[in-house]
Amino acid sequence: MPDDAPALDLLALLPEQWRAVLTPHLDPARTAALGEFVAREYATQTVFPPLEDLFSAYRLCSPQGTRVLILGQDPYHRAGQAHGLSFSVRDGVTVPPSLRNVFKELGEDVGVPKPRGGNLNGWAAQGVLLLNAVLTVRQATPGSHANAGWEEFTDATIRALDAAPERVVFLLWGGYARKKAALVTNPQHVVLEAGHPSPMNPRGFLGSRPFSAANKALADAGLPTIDWERTAG
């Protein structure tokens, strides 16, 4: 496949509501360069998620409807897993270790039975923006698209949500995600930090009770809470 693949117009691929709120926070030249990089990678490498799922998080959750943001780092890098939502996997795919810990905490925190699958479309449909800081990755090469420009794109998303008129709860898990807390400056919002659910060192995550805390923050603001048991779409 050609190295000189036509650049992707990333903003044009976004839902209109997201395009409107993200554009003021993005540098046009850098966004165009990111579009060139992403197009070249899809044309010459095996990249996840599939292009049609690149902006699934934004399609399933509007800016006005976002009540909770859960920030991941980059997509799953094995075939068949990533579908554009952080931590989530497609139906029928084995639940990855980090998501198993998320489900373990979900049960201990709010008493939700272990879900049968790892697809989190049901959370997204309720206003949980499941966003990775880096939206693409080469197969079997974690971190391969770090520092290519996605970080600015997703930082712009956090800044846009920070300007939202109603409370948003930001769930930031792990050292990488927790650095993004500095982008949330509006005191009406709530940032809940914890360790990453990775099995490498889950102690900072297990016992953090993020799901009940997020719902309390929403209820305190008079907003609908999340039915965390409804994971599937």
Q: What percent of the chain has pLDDT over 70?
A: 98
Q: What is the pLDDT of residues 18-69, one digit of tens each?
A: 999 999 999 999 999 999 999 999 999 999 999 999 999 999 999 999 999 9
Catalytic entry in 27, 53, 74, 227 = 74
Both tokens of 119, joined, read 């697809």
Can you say whether the dihedral through the CA atoms of 126, 80, 95, 98 is positive or negative? negative
Domains and CATH numbers, the chain: 10-220 (3.40.470.10)
Q: What is the mean pLDDT of the chain?
A: 96
What's the helix, strand, coil split of the chain in %, to 5? Answer: 40, 10, 50
Task: Give 83-136 pLDDT, tens digit per residue.
Answer: 999 999 999 999 999 999 999 999 999 999 999 999 999 999 999 999 999 999
Residue type, 190: V
Once rounded to an integer, what is the mean pLDDT over residues 135-142?
Answer: 97
Catalytic residue check, 53:
no
pTM: 0.96
Amino acid symbol at 15: P
d(CA 214, CA 191) in angstroms, rounded, equals 9
Written as one letter, the residue type at 14 is L
Report the distance separating Cα 108 and Cα 105, nearest Å. 5
Helix (H, G, I), strand (E, B) or coil at 49: coil
- What number is the average pLDDT over the span 166-170? 99
Give pLDDT, residue 5. Answer: 74
pLDDT of 10 reads 97
Helix ranges, the chain (H): 10-13, 16-22, 28-44, 56-60, 97-110, 121-125, 150-162, 175-178, 210-220
